[in-house]
Amino acid sequence: CHCSKEECHLRPVIHVLKHAGCVPKPIPSFACYGTCSSYVQVSGSKFWQVERSCMCCQEMGEREASIAIFCPKQIPRFRKVRHIFLLII
């Protein structure tokens, strides 16, 4: 999680990959949950400008992976499915 420890917490989650004719496959992952510290105000030095800030839980990046799932009635029996993983540190 990319924010202060008090505001953001890492939680395990399970995503289930589903594809027609294939056995659903659970994929363990993580998610960030928390609060936002935010404000909007007129600039103190440039009164014609507005200052905004919103510091929320954010991922550090993402990566794509191919996951093999089993499809018993199809040929080939294993099919690769694209899945996005969030990089949370």
Asked whether residue 15 carries a pLDDT value surpassing 60, the answer given is yes
Q: What is the pLDDT of residue 89?
A: 53
Asked whether residue 5 carries a pLDDT value surpassing 60, the answer given is no
* Structural domain spans, the chain: 8-87
CATH code that applies to domain 8-87:
2.10.90.10
User: pLDDT digit string (tens) for 20-52?
Assistant: 899 999 988 877 777 777 778 887 777 777 887
Q: Tell me the CB-side half-sphere exposure of residue 55, using CA atoms within 13 A.
A: 9
Q: What is the pLDDT of residue 66?
A: 84
- Residue 14 · residue 26 · CB < 8 Å: yes
Q: What is the pLDDT of residue 32?
A: 77
Asked whether residue 14 carries a pLDDT value surpassing 60, the answer given is yes
Q: What is the pLDDT of residue 3?
A: 53
CA dihedral 8, 30, 87, 5 (to 10 degrees): 20
- Read off the tokens for 7: 């505001």
Name the average pLDDT for the chain: 78
